Amino acid sequence: MVKTWNLDDVSGMALEAPYTFYLPSPQLIAQLRPGDVVKLIFRCPVENDRNWSAERMWVEIVQISGNEFRGKLKNTPNYIPDLSFDQELVFSPQHIIQTQREDPVPHLAGRYAKKCFVTNRVLNDKMAVDYLSHEEIDEAGKSHDFSGWTLCAGDETDEYLDNEDNWHFVSLGLILNQDDRFRCLLDTPESKGKQFQWDVSLKSYQEIIDQ
């Protein structure tokens, strides 16, 4: 049978979306040993009733030689015809998307997973975040994993902001993938209860002081 699948090189995915796409750190990869289990993405264009284009499956490492890993598949594929449980395969660090070890290096995807309110102007029109505010979070907000942050392009009208269809509730990481210049504010505990506006001349965010 002709081989129908290949392994995704996931290293590029992390570069495109560093705040939402987690990859094991090089330090964690260096800790892997035979017997460890890692997850890989198996890409396969074969038609199937689920309309899948890939499967994420666990592989047990049986041998490591430099950057070459040999392992055995520990899942039963749903639709890939030439893969089976316990089948041996060769892969490299750039194919590993997950492990069962704790990563010694904190990752951005987990750090900015909490949600924010953001307008269509930022999320869909890809405008920069020129205005943002940070409010105290009540119990309802905590239960929905709300970060307390609201992000806007800064040119939205009151009528626009009053229309709930112009708002989304998404992870901070998703917006940081588009525009991360406001990240410095997210890491400042003193930002709570404050509003900020981007100052073009100073090229920085300035706190808005109510007169």
> For 176-194, what is each residue's pLDDT tens digit?
999 999 999 998 878 889 9
- 109 pLDDT tier (thresholds 50, 70, 90): confident
- 144 pLDDT tier (thresholds 50, 70, 90): very high
Provide the token pair at 9. Answer: 């090189």
Q: What pLDDT sits at residue 92?
A: 97
What is the reported pTM?
0.76
The conformation of residue 53, written as its DSSP 8-state character, comes to S
Query: Dihedral of CA 36/37/38/42: which sign?
Result: positive
- 1 pLDDT tier (thresholds 50, 70, 90): low
For 123-154, the DSSP string reads HTT-----EEEE----HHHHHTTEEEEEEE-S
* Mean predicted confidence (pLDDT) in 119-142: 94
CA pair distance 70, 85, nearest whole angstrom: 15
- Is a pLDDT exceeding 80 seen at residue 210? no
